[in-house]
A and B are shown apart, each in its own frame.
Chain A
Amino acid sequence: MWTYIKMLEYPVDIKTTNAALAMAIMSQLGGPDGEKGAATRYLSQRYAMPDRRVVGVLTDIGTEELGHEEMVSTIITQLTKNLTMDEIEKSGFYQYYVDHTIGIYPQSAGGTPFSAATLQSTGDPIADLHEDLAAEQKARLTYDNILRLCKDEPDVYDAIKFLRAREMVHYQRFGESLRIMQDNLDSKNFYAFNSAFDKGSTCS
């Protein structure tokens, strides 16, 4: 069960529109390493995770990612508010505008719609946690790429910097989660079995 809190996790207050930047940042909503994929990945993986502490990490990080979807959507909304038709035509934003006007649709910067094909939930704790560590690094580097594009937009830069920092913390927590899982496995061969499925695992 979830409860909505009527506030952003971190303030977003963008005063100037920038349609081209909105197109780029959109990838962190519905792109291959975006927040919607992150939330879907972690909240789906929880059910096969045998350790309660690691389920806690997946639940709490997955929930925070839902808040990040809202932050990224807010950034895009404020960057595209009151755009003129001239700005829409000249910025390249017209390719998005023709299907979605200035509504929020989860897609990559290149226009590919959000797809669960960009993520996995394998039912194997070790495989899933390695995927999660990689996902946090991919999201972090995507935010780094966005930061290089918004150096002259301090309001955007500030919010993106916050989101980037969260990827680092999540990476740390997933690293600890992997260690917790491995501590409960056969130290001579961590990867001998699926600890959520095969009999003989001390975790299951």
Chain B
Amino acid sequence: MYSVERGAEMENMCREDLMNLIQSTNFTVIEISMYLDTHPECPCGLSAYEEYSRMLRRAVDIYERKFGPLTIYNVENDGSWDWVQSPWPWQKGCDC
């Protein structure tokens, strides 16, 4: 299990490793959210949600700063629209 303290380690990850971490953490958040829909009072579920959603935000922040946007809300442009510069997820040769 990763902990929030792994922020420094995330900073040094290559694109592929960081994307793998984001995918697995994102999946964990999806899974916990769905569980909480039918168990909204569960303390274990709520604390797991806190931990993993915080970790996901941190990983996504680092990824977008270093490798490009994952949503249209965090596009940092340098003279051209960066959203369409990186490969789409189904394109081979894409790290994601």
Contact = CB atoms under 8 A, between A and B. Distances in A.
A8 B96 contact: yes
Interface of B: 19-20, 22-23, 26-27, 30-31, 33-35, 37-40, 69-73, 83, 86, 88-90, 92, 96
Nearest to A67: B30
Majority secondary structure, B binding face: helix
18 contacts: A3-B71, A4-B71, A6-B69, A9-B30, A11-B20, A11-B23, A13-B92, A53-B40, A56-B37, A57-B34, A64-B30, A70-B89, A70-B90, A169-B31, A169-B34, A173-B37, A176-B38, A177-B38
A1 interface: no
A74 B86 CA distance: 17
Interface residues of A, number: 29
A73 B88 CA distance: 13
Given A4-B72, A6-B71, A9-B26, A173 B34 contact: yes
Contacts of B23: 7-11
Contacts of B92: 13, 78, 81
A7 B90 contact: no
A57 B38 CA distance: 7
B41 to A, nearest CB: 11
Interface in A58-101: 60-61, 64, 70, 73-74, 77-78, 81
A173 B90 contact: no
Given A4-B72, A7-B19, A60 B89 contact: no
Contacts of A70: 89-90
B82 to A, nearest CB: 11
Interface string A1-33: 001111111111100000000000000000000
